């Protein structure tokens, strides 16, 4: 079986398993290429109709082009979109100038936690991949979080033969990761094959493009002349720059991503 077909089937199997086992599911849609691919796979798994809502955690720092793309695609694909904001933190002026760790944690992690508390979601699909960074390489496909939202990465339950851990205590939730086995290059090759529309910030303008989409103050475009999906694929085959090089929160301090993620950051 072709490499992309194998990945696609693996992801679909995970989606269907989660849908069967959990009543209250939602999917995080960050508007980026990964979670948009994830959304595409969900449409495939459920024959075109996504049976759970999509959640966008809006920090208030997102690029207007991301918001425009989000609303356009949500309408075209007829998905149930929830936009969640940690209003209190936004009002009290949370921003990266006061510390990136605190800002990410308040606007993203707590924004998500508030939504889970309010809506009672038991399972959240996330488009993280093992090749993004070290702590994600150690993730399980079904990854339990305790009632404080924390990831106990030092003692994860075993997971084998596609028999996922799906019975959890009522005060916990599970993160479900259908894209763990995909690489950045796989994602782009799949986007090309399936002709999935992506946000235009990924395509080069004035010699720069975003390789990863985040908040405006902490995420920078990288020098690149790749202005089509084909050119992006060619670029990735030779580049030595890691994907998250333009993401300030990954580089601020040693193990910052591990610490953010142990508290519930995607």
Partner 1 sequence: MSGQDTLRIVIAGHVDHGKSTLIGRLFYDTGSLPEERYREIERTCREQGRPFEFAYLMDALEEEREHNITIDTAQTFFKTSLRPYIIIDAPGHKEFLKNMITGAAAADAAILLVDGAEGVREQTRRHAYMLSLLGLRQVVVAVNKLDLVGFRRDRFEEVEEEIRGFLLSVGIVPAHVVPISAREGDNIATSSERTAWYSGLTLLGALDSFFPTRDIAGLPLRFPVQDIYVGDGKRVYAGRVESGSLRAGSRAVFSPSGKKAVVRSVEKWKQPALPEAHAGECVGVTFTEELFVERGEVLSEEGEAPLAVREISASLFWLGNEPLRLSSRYVLKLATSEVEAVLSAITERIDSSTLEVTERHANRVENLEVANVTFTLLHPIAADTFKENPRLGRFVVEVGEFVAGGGIVREVRSDRPGGATRVVRLTAMMNTEPDGNFIDLSREAGPVEFEVSPGFVARLGEGEKVAIRLCTADQLERISRLAFGYGLGMTFRRGSEGNRVVLFREGPVSQAATEEGFPVI
3-class DSSP state of 149 = coil
Q: Decide if 71 contacts 64 (C-beta within 8 A).
A: no
**In the complex, least distance from residue 225 CB atom to partner 1, rounded to whole angstroms:** 20
Cα-only R_g, the chain: 18
Q: Decide if 5 contacts 13 (C-beta within 8 A).
A: no
Among 74, 81, 165, 233, binds partner 1 (CB under 8 A): 165
What's the CA gap between 26 and 112, in Å, rounded?
11
Residue 43 token pair? 């449409």
Nearer to partner 1, 216 or 256 (CB): 256
**Binding to partner 1 (CB under 8 A): which residues in 47-76?**
47-49
CA distances from 5 to 26, 41, 147, 194 (A): 25, 11, 36, 11
> Is there binding between residue 45 and partner 1 (CB under 8 A)?
yes
Q: Decide if 178 contacts 125 (C-beta within 8 A).
A: yes
Nearer to partner 1, 75 or 251 (CB): 251
Among 56, 108, 122, 140, binds partner 1 (CB under 8 A): 140
> Is there binding between residue 130 and partner 1 (CB under 8 A)?
yes
What's the CA gap between 190 and 97, in Å, rounded?
37
What's the CA gap between 2 and 125, in Å, rounded?
25
**In the complex, least distance from residue 108 CB atom to partner 1, rounded to whole angstroms:** 21
Please work out the total of residues on this chain that contact partner 1, with binding judged by CB under 8 A. Answer: 51
Residue 16 token pair? 């269907």
> Is there binding between residue 1 and partner 1 (CB under 8 A)?
yes
**In the complex, least distance from residue 239 CB atom to partner 1, rounded to whole angstroms:** 9
Residue 128 token pair? 């993280």
For the beta carbon of residue 47, count every other beta carbon within 10 angstroms. Answer: 6
Pairing of strands 208-209, 123-125: unpaired
**In the complex, least distance from residue 58 CB atom to partner 1, rounded to whole angstroms:** 29
Nearer to partner 1, 9 or 227 (CB): 9
**In the complex, least distance from residue 163 CB atom to partner 1, rounded to whole angstroms:** 4
Among 64, 91, 97, 154, binds partner 1 (CB under 8 A): 154
> Is there binding between residue 183 and partner 1 (CB under 8 A)?
yes
Stretch that binds partner 1, among 29-37, 62-70, 84-92, 165-173 (CB under 8 A): 165-173
3-class DSSP state of 222 = strand
Q: For binding to partner 1 (CB under 8 A), which residues are involved?
A: 1-3, 5-6, 9, 12-13, 16-17, 19-20, 43-49, 130-131, 133-135, 137-138, 140, 144, 153-154, 156-161, 163, 165, 167-169, 180-181, 183, 240-242, 245, 254-255, 258
């Amino acid at each position: 079986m072709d490499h992309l077909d194998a990945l696609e089937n693996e992801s679909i199997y995970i989606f269907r398993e989660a849908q069967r086992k959990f009543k209250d599911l939602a999917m995080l849609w960050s508007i980026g290429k990964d979670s948009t691919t994830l959304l595409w796979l969900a449409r495939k798994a459920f024959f075109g109709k996504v049976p759970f809502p999509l959640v966008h955690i809006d920090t208030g720092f997102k690029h207007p082009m991301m918001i425009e793309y989000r609303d356009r695609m949500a309408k075209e694909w007829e998905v149930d979109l929830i936009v969640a904001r940690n209003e209190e933190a936004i009002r009290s002026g949370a921003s990266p100038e006061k510390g990136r760790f605190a800002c990410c944690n308040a606007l993203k992690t707590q924004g998500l936690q508030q939504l889970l508390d309010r809506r009672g979601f038991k399972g959240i699909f996330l488009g993280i991949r093992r090749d993004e960074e070290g702590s994600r390489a150690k993730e399980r496909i079904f990854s339990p979080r305790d009632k404080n939202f924390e990831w106990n990465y030092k003692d994860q339950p075993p997971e084998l033969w596609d028999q996922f851990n799906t019975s959890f205590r009522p005060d916990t939730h599970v993160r479900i990761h259908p894209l763990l086995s995909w690489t950045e290059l796989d994602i782009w090759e799949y986007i090309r094959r399936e002709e999935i529309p992506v946000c235009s910030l990924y395509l080069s303008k004035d010699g720069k493009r975003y390789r990863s989409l985040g908040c405006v103050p902490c995420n920078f475009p990288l020098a690149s002349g790749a202005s089509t999906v084909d050119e992006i694929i060619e670029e990735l085959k030779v580049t030595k720059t890691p994907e998250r090089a333009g993401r300030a929160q990954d580089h601020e301090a040693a193990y910052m991503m591990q610490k953010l993620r142990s508290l519930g950051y995607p």
